[in-house]
Structures are given as C-alpha cells and as structure tokens.
Amino acid sequence: MISTERAEAALKHEEPHIIASREFGFWLFLLGDAITFALLIASYAVLGDNSAAGPTSQEVFHLGLTLAQTVLLLLATYVMGLAVVSLMEEDAAQVRLWLAATVVLGLAFTVLQVYEFSSMIASGAGPDVSGFLSAFFTLLGVHGLHVIFGTLACAVLFGQVIVKGLTKPVGSRVIRMAVYWHFLVAVWVAIYSVVYLSGVL
C-alpha cells in the first residue's frame, strides 16, 4: 500500500515534466513541418509554369471545390478552438462534441480532396504528366496526409476523453491538437494563395 502511494506521488511529481517535454517535442515537430511545407511550396512556385504538353492550372483547377475545402478547414479550426474553451470550463461532454465535429469536418475535407485528385487523374492530369502536376500532387498530398493524421488524432482524443476524462495529459493533447489544426489552416491559406488563386486568376 505504501509503495503504491509512493509510486503515485512520484508519478504526479514527474507528470509536469513529461507534459513539458512532449510539448517541446510538439513545437519541434511543427517547426520541421513548417520547413517541409515551405520547401514544397517553393518547389511548386518553381515548377508551376512547367506544364509541358499537359493541361495548365487554368484547365484543371476549380475554385468552387477548393473554396468548399477552405470552409471545412476553417470550421474544423473553429470547433477545435471551442474544444479548448470547453476544456477550460472542464466540460467533458462539450469537448467530446467538438472533437467529434472536427473528425466529421476532417473526413469531409478528405473526401473532397480525393474527389479532386481522382477527377484530375481521370481527365489525364495525373502527377506523371508534367512538373507542374507532380509538384501539385506532392504538395497537396502531403497536406492531405496531415489532415488525415489530425482527423485520426481527434478520434483517438475523443476516446481518451471518454475513458480518462479531462486529465492534465489529455487536456495538453487537446490544446496541442487545436494548435496543429490552426497550423494546417495557415498552410492551407498559403497553398490556396500560391497554388489555386495565382493559378486561376
């Protein structure tokens, strides 16, 4: 009994240090991601006009579809912000609600992106056609994988809130996930400006 109490006390003492180290690792991860996306966007900027004999951006981009994707990402970021507000209010039910909403919005974004990619490939605008399309699929594909990861992570967090409640480690993960979704939106704004708007207008 005494050894168990000592173990629990030691765990509580170490918990803040564990959370702090994980938060530091998270910021390093975001920094690495920011560099990765900066390089991918720069590569697209260089190859964007290299359409070879394939279709150009004006022929394959549809701003209506990408606008819908933008709205979905903005909503996902907004509801993750609401999850953090609910976390501060210690309202587990509301945290679960907003996490579930983020999962739905992330899935909807992914469905639209898969539709965009499949439509382009079916029309002969696949990643192997030109440098422009190769850079496009790489950049958007990497961002899409990040959205899928964020969606799955929110689903896992949903389960953790149910099982563990709003413990400090779980709360820290919710906050980091909200920051992650804000990062995804910031990257998407850059992509939307450099890729879609400049490619169509």
Residue-level length of the chain: 201
What value, to the nearest 5°, has the Cα angle with vertex 106 and ends 102 and 112?
A: 145
Q: For 156-191, how does the pLDDT look when each residue is reduced to its tens digit (9 = 90+)?
A: 999 999 999 999 999 999 999 999 999 999 999 999
| Band of pLDDT at residue 80, cut at 50, 70 and 90 | very high
Q: How far apart are CA 197 and CA 189, in angstroms?
A: 10
Give the burial string for 119-138 (b: 16+ CB within 10 Å, else e).
ebeeeebebebbbbbbbbbe
Third-level CATH fold of 2-200: Four Helix Bundle (Hemerythrin (Met), subunit A) (1.20.120)
- pLDDT for the residue 36: 96
C-alpha 19: how far from chain center: 22
Helix ranges restricted to H, the chain: 2-47, 57-60, 63-88, 92-122, 131-164, 168-191, 198-200
Stretch 97-111: mean pLDDT, rounded? 98
Q: For 18-33, how does the pLDDT look when each residue is reduced to its tens digit (9 = 90+)?
A: 777 888 888 999 999 9
Residue 53 pLDDT exceeds 80: no
CA distances from 59 to 47, 51, 65 (A): 16, 11, 14
| DSSP 8-state assignment for residue 53 | T
Q: For 109-153, how does the pLDDT look when each residue is reduced to its tens digit (9 = 90+)?
A: 999 999 999 999 999 888 888 888 999 999 999 999 999 999 999
Model confidence, pTM: 0.88
What value, to the nearest 5°, has the Cα angle with vertex 172 and ends 167 and 173?
A: 100
The ranges assigned to domains in the chain are: 2-200
